Amino acid sequence: MSERVEWILAVRLRQLGDVLAALATLQALKRYRPERRIAYVVEAPYAELLRGLDFIDFLPSPPKRGAAAWARYLATLRGLRPTGAIDFHGSARSALIVRLSGAPVRVGFDVRARRRLYTIVEPRGEFRDGVRIPRTPIVWGMRLARHLGAAEVDSLPPRIPVAADAYSRAVSALAAAGITTRDIEAGEVIGLNPGRPLPVKTWAPDRFATLARRIAREGGRALVFWGPGEEAAARAIVAASGNTAVLAPATPLADMPALLSACRALVTIDSGLKHLAVCSRVPTVTIFGATDPREWHMGGGSDAFLWRGLSCSPCRRLECPFGSPCMDVSVDAVWDALYAVLQRAERSA
């Protein structure tokens, strides 16, 4: 590779929502100086998802194990001779990758001993009178990127394109599951994403089932999404809906934007799939509880959220001693939000 090429290395190894949020920053870096190249270090499944983005030039996924494999990998990164590196992740592994890349300018968050591996450190949070000021990951990403030169960032993460072959596979898989091309073209498919069974983020399965039945009464088809470890819960919702809902076909992450694009909207908890739907420009209704929509909504005009905003929210806990009252959102409230989102999307089409 030519020494005249300027490379910027960015690292965000995993967590789908965070991986996607960083895309706005990478796009801003490229927009500011189009001739430079962006290498984005993410784990392999995310690399497959992001290959169609024109502002990312290289997706060097790190090896899973092996000293020799890691030595070759780090040699590849050093061979780019990056002029700057950004650690969006802030883990020990991501900080070491940035440090060993050879980049003379290394930017990261002020986190524990990792701060010593960077040349420029930014605070992880912002507070006023002892209260945390909610900012999105896009804002925090730009706090890092400004040290390497970046254009003004968009508030909405970039769109992930859907390849024609991926869409064909999605349509075929949906047909096998019972959703026809006519259902898709008529805009009758509404996605439901119950997500991981984590109490502080869980909207009650019986409410998802009730919503699915209501969608069916209004002439729609509910498609229940699921990921690793979530299939049993998704099947239970389909059964509780009286099989008015359809279980989404097993789909690799790289093809998920195509499957989402078959939906007119997605009702979801705060999750990686929510952010992928936003990047696929599928309207969303998100139910927030322990997390803060002022930080994690990152949607556009055709996206909405429901958040009770209790005095204990956002707690960012994994478990709640009070039974997660923040997720006690009625089906009627979700239905009303969904109807409003669909109306806005129709007007803007």
CATH number given to 7-148: 3.40.50.2000
Over residues 101-118, the pLDDT tens digits come to 999 999 999 998 999 999
Domain boundaries, the chain: 7-148, 164-348
Give the pLDDT score at 38.
98
| DSSP-derived secondary structure for 278-296 | HHTT--EEEEESSS-HHHH
C-alpha to C-alpha distance for 8 and 120, rounded to whole angstroms: 15
DSSP state of 152: P
C-alpha to C-alpha distance for 347 and 349, rounded to whole angstroms: 6
Give the pLDDT score at 131.
86
C-alpha to C-alpha distance for 144 and 123, rounded to whole angstroms: 10
Structure tokens at 1: 């590779």
Structure tokens at 244: 């008015």
DSSP state of 58: B
Cα pseudo-dihedral 267, 269, 273, 277, rounded to 10: 40
Residues in CB range of 255: below 8 A, 6 or more apart: 166, 169, 170
Give the pLDDT score at 108.
98
Checking 67-75 for CB contacts under 8 A at 24+ apart, the result is: 74/100, 74/101
Give the pLDDT score at 195.
94
The matching CATH number, chosen from 1.10.150.80, 3.30.70.20, 3.40.50.2000, 3.40.50.620, for 164-348 is 3.40.50.2000
- Nearest alpha-carbon partner for 141 in 281, 57, 27: 27
Give the pLDDT score at 312.
92
Over residues 41-96, the pLDDT tens digits come to 999 999 999 999 999 999 999 999 999 999 999 999 999 999 999 999 999 999 99
DSSP state of 46: H
Does an H or E element contain 247, and which?
Answer: strand 246-247
**Cβ(316)–Cβ(290) under 8 Å?**
yes
Question: Which residue is it, tokens 């806990």?
Answer: 317
Beta bridge mates, 8: 38, 84
**Shared fold status for 7-148 and 164-348:** yes
C-alpha to C-alpha distance for 325 and 200, rounded to whole angstroms: 9
C-alpha to C-alpha distance for 243 and 249, rounded to whole angstroms: 15
Mean pLDDT, contiguous 10-residue spans, the chain (349 residues): 79 97 97 97 98 97 96 98 97 97 97 94 90 93 95 92 96 97 97 89 96 97 96 97 98 98 98 97 97 94 95 89 94 98 88
Give the pLDDT score at 3.
55
Distance of CA 344 to the CA centre of its chain: 22
Give the pLDDT score at 2.
44
Q: Where are the beta strands (DSSP E) in 134-233?
A: 189-193, 221-224
pTM confidence score: 0.95
Give the pLDDT score at 318.
85
Burial class (CB within 10 angstroms; exposed 0-12, middle 13-18, buried 19+) of 102? middle
Structure tokens at 53: 């983005």
C-alpha to C-alpha distance for 59 and 293, rounded to whole angstroms: 30
